[in-house]
Structure 1
Amino acid sequence: MLLGAIEAGGTKFVCAVGHENGTIVERTVIPTDLPEVTMREVIGFFQKHQPDAIGIGTFGPADVNPKSPTFGMITSTPKQGWRDYPLLSELEKVFPVPMGFDTDVNAAALGEAKLGAAKGLDSCLYITVGTGIGAGALVGGKLLQGLSHPEMGHIMVRRHPNDSYEGKCPYHKDCLEGLAAGPAIEERWGMKGDKLQEAEEVWELEGYYLAQAIAHYILVLSPKKIILGGGVMKQEQLYPIIARNVQEILNGYVSLPEIMDRIDEYLVSPGLGDNAGITGSLMLAYEAYTEQNR
């Protein structure tokens, strides 16, 4: 069985074919242009391989409710040309195969739970900190959805008393994403984060904001593992800063050994590295295939 996978991002689409064990046979990276340009290349890639099922993990917001008339649509994104774009139905027009559809971060959480840092656990949280901030969660062995998918990057955090930056989010200004995503780092400090590696104050502030969010997620979801990915988290010095701040914020209230004694094993980088999202999309394809062929 050959599975297709799409990790649809605001900057690029990663497309791959592979197997349910996570093996990737071939992949390609397609820039996220206007839909008609990008989708022409996406469809061409899969026409060459003819997979038995396709899994899609997409940037959002997106409609992930299978009972909704707009299921599979990218909805209120600020990305030019993609607002209200029917991503799933455009693929279904060409490929009459089972398809799984979810957010990119939920796909990454699934990949990490099946084959990565949370393998064997029925609960984990995957957070990406890059161009935006988002998180996907596995709870009781199932990807978290409800009224819609979680939008954990847009929670409000307490502003640092020395931070006068107004925030970058086009919807909320100073939500978590507006204060701590890659573009906010660049605008606040005048250069990209990868040029600021030695600037301790940059990462102390970043850790301050990310730790607040993670403390909230621990209190609400109580995940068994938290995985931090995305371009900003390539700055490995962030992990101990975040861990220290999380412990200070929780202040012994969640007095579990994972938090108190082994937090470096609890807050971790992706076991699948940069392949968490595309591997998770393979898993979405496999789940869609098995569901339809029971």
Structure 2
Amino acid sequence: MEVVLALYGAIESGGHKFVCLIAEDKDTILEKKVFLTKKPKETILEVVNFFRQFGNLQSLGIASFGPIDLNQNSQNYGVLTTTPKTLWQGIDLRKEINSRLRIPVYIDTDVNSAALAEHLWGSANDVSNLVYITVGTGIGAGIICNDKLIKGFSHTEFGHIRIPHDLKEDSFLGVCIFHGNCLEGLASAPAINKRCELEEGRIPPPEHQVWSLVAKYLSFAVNNLIFTTAPEKIILGGGVMKNKKLITLIRQNVYDLLNSYVEYDPIKFDLENYIVHPKLGDEAGVLGALAIAMGLNFEINQ
């Protein structure tokens, strides 16, 4: 009797590229392909054609840039809302793919998905409470508390929190089109590019003075998360965090900001294993999408 293996699809959709894979599970990836993000119709068609060649999939998970309406009772569930990627505003990515492949399609944010993957298989597989922060084109946070992803009427918008900004020290007004000098407006990749007058996709050398400012702002944000969510581990991912000196600056700043107030041994004595890089690296988002397709997010949310 022939054994038919269950296959799952996963997509990490971003402003620059769509990462797609077919897998039996995390350790058995059969095919992976990257598509450049173009206009919605063209991109979706390429993605759908990729998955069609594998026949019937069990289900498909999407780790998407946002904001997304994640309220399952909303008539706009799964729709990209006020994304700065204007061509994608109002696009229901989940529905578009579901209607073409006719399989169950599940969606969450890219950062929630990365948090899920790191919790299941990565740097935070030994704790129940964690925060995954991504710092790249945007800034976001996925928060897992008591093994459950935190969501309210929708996902969190951590990149748009306000942090101390001394205009005498730093006259830069920020790049966020909605809030100017929010965290994302001050410390994201586009903010760094504009501060340093660099082309998109380029970053300044590790010794550039801008990194001390970026570390300062990210440290304020991490400090606030420690006080508000009491995570057992904090993971810092995304393209900006590939500057290896940055995480060291953040650790030191956070330690100074906390000023010995928090009585938690990993913070007091082992900060290098408390504030960490993602073990899964750039694969965290798409592996989170795979976990969603496999139903593992429902498992931890029970």
State whether TM-score is above 0.5.
yes
What is the aligned partner in structure 2 of residue 116 from structure 1?
Answer: 122
Name the SS of the counterpart of 1:195 in structure 2: coil
What is the aligned partner in structure 1 of residue 212 from structure 2?
Answer: 204
Deviation at 1:80, TM superposition (A): 2.5
What is the aligned partner in structure 1 of residue 204 from structure 2?
Answer: 195
Instruction: Sort the Cα spacing of 1:143 and 1:13 in 2 relative to 1 into closer, same or farther, 3 A.
Output: same
Query: Is 2:198 aligned against 1:185?
Result: no
Deviation at 1:191, TM superposition (A): 2.6
Name the % identity.
Answer: 43
Task: Compare 17-26 and 122-131 and name the one that shifted more.
Answer: 17-26
Name the SS of the counterpart of 1:206 in structure 2: helix
Query: Is 2:5 aligned against 1:5?
Result: no
What is the aligned partner in structure 2 of residue 29 from structure 1?
Answer: 34
For structure 1, list consecutive stretches of 5 or more residues without a partner in the other structure.
none
Name the SS of the counterpart of 1:149 in structure 2: coil
Query: Is 2:273 aligned against 1:255?
Result: no
What is the aligned partner in structure 2 of residue 16 from structure 1?
Answer: 21
Q: TM-score, normalised by structure 1?
A: 0.94
Q: Within 5 Å, which residues of 2 pair with 1:34-183?
A: 34-50=39-55, 51-160=57-166, 161-183=168-190
Answer yes or no: is the 8 Å Cα contact 1:196–1:202 preserved in 2: no
Answer yes or no: is the 8 Å Cα contact 1:125–1:227 preserved in 2: yes
Q: In structure 2, what is the Cα distance between the partners aligned to 1:77 and 1:38?
A: 17
Aligned pairs, number:
290
Deviations 1:143-190 (A, max 9, x none): 111111001011011014411001000000000000000111111122
Q: Partner letter of residue 190 of structure 2?
A: P
Deviations 1:96-154 (A, max 9, x none): 22222110000000000011101132221111111111111111112111111001011
Q: In structure 2, what is the Cα distance between the partners aligned to 1:209 and 1:53?
A: 40
Query: Is 2:222 aligned against 1:214?
Result: yes
Q: TM-score, normalised by structure 2?
A: 0.92
Name the SS of the counterpart of 2:25 in structure 1: coil
Q: Partner letter of residue 193 of structure 2?
A: E
Q: In structure 2, what is the Cα distance between the partners aligned to 1:183 and 1:166?
A: 13
Deviation at 1:288, TM superposition (A): 7.2
Q: In structure 2, what is the Cα distance between the partners aligned to 1:287 and 1:30?
A: 25
Deviation at 1:22, TM superposition (A): 4.4
Query: Is 2:250 aligned against 1:245?
Result: no
Answer yes or no: is the 8 Å Cα contact 1:153–1:177 preserved in 2: yes
Task: Compare 262-271 and 23-32 and name the one that shifted more.
Answer: 23-32
Name the SS of the counterpart of 1:93 in structure 2: helix
Q: In structure 1, what is the Cα distance between the partners aligned to 2:128 and 2:97?
A: 31
Answer yes or no: is the 8 Å Cα contact 2:196–2:204 preserved in 1: no
